[in-house]
């Protein structure tokens, strides 16, 4: 929508574009066409100026040299005629010289005293012309330029026989020179006009095909992408910069579409994982309730009945035997409660740190799953020898990731051996869980439509990403599986600059 601001402080609503009336006409094609037309007009004007200020002086110089040459020729031919006083021959020579060239406006000869002998004028000789130009015997010629009603005249006087016999004079006009220059200028202006029309044709048709139309397609596709349609591609018709821009745009939309699909897949996995967490919480609560009811409740009921039996015992021996049985029953109840609390959260993780908790977990895992586990640590003294313990969130995250990885080994790999390695550096801690099982195709699992087998892996990745870490999985059919995780310590302590 196009609107016009009503004042310097006026603001347009979001999504509206402010355009001036002129901008509607200032399309790219109009601008490029205007540039071409301006260049052609400037070129034409430059040619015209070159003609007027370079060619005209050259032509005038050529005209002047021709006038001197004609005057010298007439002086040389008239020397004997003047000395013999052959006026008829002199008149013929003057008329012949005047008619030799259209630029020669007149020709006449004067004797050494300045008296007029012959001339080529048909309507009388202008007396003022005699004194307009004079030459001495020592000069080769004398040139004078003066303005007349017929235009500019170049009057050339050449002494005859060194000035002894008189002077020969001619007048050379610029009529033909001006006609020649005017013709050149007209032809150049016509060429400029023709070139301008050709430039307009190129601007409206050729540029439309190679520039405006592809850019218009880019604009439409960009608007479609802005509206959420990432399936729009731009046709690549050329191999120039516009073609490269179209290819880059298509690659961008493909990458955006791929990223959107990946985000949607991750969001779906996140929702499934959330549902699984909620379901697991409810299952855990039901299991705890059942354990408390079936195990702890029975023990407490037995204790209550035993205490009543002690109360009703008739002799001390019976009371002692009943008390001993009650003590054993109490110990069993405590073991059940302790095991239940360890399953919920290992106390060793809070009390002694990550390594002792993993040592106990791997030991119980070997007994329960029948898989040999080798645990190795580097730089993990956990407070001993002055080494600071890991942040609590890092310890818990690593413990749960290792726990989930070993659970996947027991469920899916068919492995006989596994290895867990924890390594700590100055600013991060890394964990590796490796097995010798059957392995799997990571790419096939990542692109699988069924995400049931991906929730465990996705959950580990989510745990790592929540503390700024990264998790990677390497596996191949028949080659086992390795899970790598690296967690930064600075982010967990909150001292990231």
pTM of the model: 0.42
- Interval 205-239: pLDDT, tens: 766 666 666 776 777 777 777 777 777 677 666 66
Contact 374, 420 (CB under 8 A): yes
Three-state secondary structure call for residue 381: coil
pLDDT over 90 (residue 319) = no
pLDDT at position 385 is 42
Q: Is 490 exposed, middle or buried (0-12, 13-18, 19+ CB in 10 A)?
A: middle
pLDDT at position 262 is 82
Are β-strands 104-110 and 116-119 bridged in parallel, bridged antiparallel, or unpaired?
antiparallel
- How far is the C-alpha of 338 from the C-alpha of 347, rounded, in Å? 10
- How far is the C-alpha of 194 from the C-alpha of 47, rounded, in Å? 14
pLDDT at position 494 is 46
Domain 70-182: give its CATH code.
3.30.450.20
Kindly state the average pLDDT of the residues 48-55.
73
Q: Which parts of 12-162 are beta strand (E)?
A: 17-18, 104-110, 116-119, 142-148, 151-160
- Residue of 118, 114, 115, 111 whose CA lies nearest to 161: 111
Three-state secondary structure call for residue 391: coil
Are β-strands 417-424 and 372-378 bridged in parallel, bridged antiparallel, or unpaired?
parallel
- Interval 286-308: pLDDT, tens: 666 666 666 677 767 777 777 77
User: 156: pLDDT confidence band, cut at 50, 70 and 90?
Assistant: very high
Kindly state the average pLDDT of the residues 181-208.
74
% of residues, the chain, pLDDT over 90: 9
- Interval 143-155: pLDDT, tens: 888 888 778 888 9
- How far is the C-alpha of 465 from the C-alpha of 468, rounded, in Å? 5
Who has greater pLDDT, 250 or 120?
Answer: 120
User: 7: pLDDT confidence band, cut at 50, 70 and 90?
Assistant: very low
DSSP 8-state class, residue 296: I
- Interval 100-109: pLDDT, tens: 777 888 999 9
Q: In the structure encoding, which two tokens stand for residue 306, read together?
A: 């035993």
- How far is the C-alpha of 136 from the C-alpha of 146, rounded, in Å? 20
- How far is the C-alpha of 391 from the C-alpha of 100, rounded, in Å? 115
Kindly state the average pLDDT of the residues 37-50.
76
| CA R_g for the chain | 56
Q: In the structure encoding, which two tokens stand for residue 472, read together?
A: 């990677």
Query: From 3.30.565.10, 3.40.50.720, 3.20.20.30, 3.20.20.70, which CATH number describes the 350-497 domain?
Result: 3.30.565.10
pLDDT at position 491 is 53
Q: What residues contact 23, with CB distance under 8 A and at least 6 apart?
A: none
Write the CA distances from 46 to 38, 153, 182, integer angstroms. Answer: 12, 29, 16
DSSP 8-state class, residue 379: S
270 conformational bin, left if phi > 0, alpha if psi -120 to 50, beta if neither: alpha
Residue position matching structure tokens 């609590």: 392
Region of poorest pLDDT, from 357-366, 434-443, 455-464, 482-491:
455-464
Contact 471, 456 (CB under 8 A): no
% of residues, the chain, pLDDT over 70: 76
pLDDT over 80 (residue 398) = yes
Angle between helices 175-201 and 56-83 (to 10 degrees): 160
pLDDT at position 486 is 92
In this structure, the chain runs to a length of 497
Backbone angles phi, psi at 307, to 5 degrees: -65, -35
pLDDT over 50 (residue 1) = no
- How far is the C-alpha of 57 from the C-alpha of 223, rounded, in Å? 61
Contact 90, 60 (CB under 8 A): no
- How far is the C-alpha of 433 from the C-alpha of 398, rounded, in Å? 11
Who has greater pLDDT, 430 or 351?
Answer: 430
- Interval 163-177: pLDDT, tens: 888 899 999 888 777
């Amino acid at each position: 929508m196009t609107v016009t601001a009503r004042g310097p402080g006026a603001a347009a609503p979001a999504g509206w574009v402010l355009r001036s009336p002129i901008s509607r006409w200032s399309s790219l094609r109009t601008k490029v066409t205007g540039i071409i037309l301006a260049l052609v007009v400037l070129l034409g004007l430059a040619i015209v100026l070159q003609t007027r200020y370079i060619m005209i002086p050259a032509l005038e110089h050529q005209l002047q040299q021709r006038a001197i040459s004609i005057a010298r020729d007439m002086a040389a031919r008239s020397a004997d005629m003047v000395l013999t006083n052959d006026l008829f021959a002199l008149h013929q020579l003057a008329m012949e010289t005047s008619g030799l060239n259209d630029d020669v406006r007149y020709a006449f000869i004067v004797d050494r005293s300045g008296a007029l002998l012959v001339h080529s004028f048909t309507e009388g000789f202008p007396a003022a012309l005699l004194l307009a130009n004079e030459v001495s015997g020592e000069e080769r010629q004398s040139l004078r330029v003066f303005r007349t009603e017929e235009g500019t005249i170049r009057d050339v006087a050449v002494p005859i026989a060194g000035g002894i016999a008189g002077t020969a004079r001619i007048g050379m006009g610029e009529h033909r020179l001006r006609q020649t220059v005017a013709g050149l200028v007209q032809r150049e202006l016509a060429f400029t006009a023709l070139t301008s029309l050709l430039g307009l044709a190129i601007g409206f048709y050729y540029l439309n095909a190679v520039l405006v139309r592809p850019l218009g397609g880019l604009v439409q596709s960009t608007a479609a992408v802005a509206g959420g349609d990432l399936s729009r591609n731009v046709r690549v018709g050329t191999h120039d910069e516009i073609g490269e821009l179209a290819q880059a745009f298509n690659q961008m939309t493909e990458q955006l579409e791929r990223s959107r699909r990946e985000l949607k897949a991750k969001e779906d996995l996140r929702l499934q994982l959330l549902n699984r967490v909620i379901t697991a919480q409810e299952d855990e609560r039901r299991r705890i309730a059942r354990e408390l009811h079936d195990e702890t409740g029975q023990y407490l009921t037995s204790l209550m009945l035993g205490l009543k039996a002690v109360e009703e015992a008739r002799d001390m021996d019976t009371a002692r035997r009943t008390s001993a049985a009650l003590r054993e029953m109490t110990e069993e109840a405590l073991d059940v409660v302790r095991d239940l609390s360890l399953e919920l959260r290992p106390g060793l993780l809070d009390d002694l740190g990550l390594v002792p908790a993993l040592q106990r977990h791997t030991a119980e895992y070997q007994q329960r799953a029948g898989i040999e586990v080798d645990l190795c640590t580097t730089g993990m003294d956990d407070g001993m020898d002055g080494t600071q313990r890991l942040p609590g969130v890092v310890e818990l995250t690593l413990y749960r990731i290792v726990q989930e990885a070993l659970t996947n080994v027991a469920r899916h790999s068919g492995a006989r051996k596994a290895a867990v390695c924890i390594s700590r550096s100055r600013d991060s801690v890394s964990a590796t869980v490796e097995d010798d099982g059957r392995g799997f195709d990571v790419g096939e699992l990542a692109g699988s439509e069924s995400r049931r087998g991906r929730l465990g892996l996705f959950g580990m990745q989510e745990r790592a990403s929540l503390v700024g870490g990264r998790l990677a999985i390497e596996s191949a059919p028949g080659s086992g599986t390795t899970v790598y995780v690296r967690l930064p310590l600075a982010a967990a302590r909150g001292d990231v600059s």
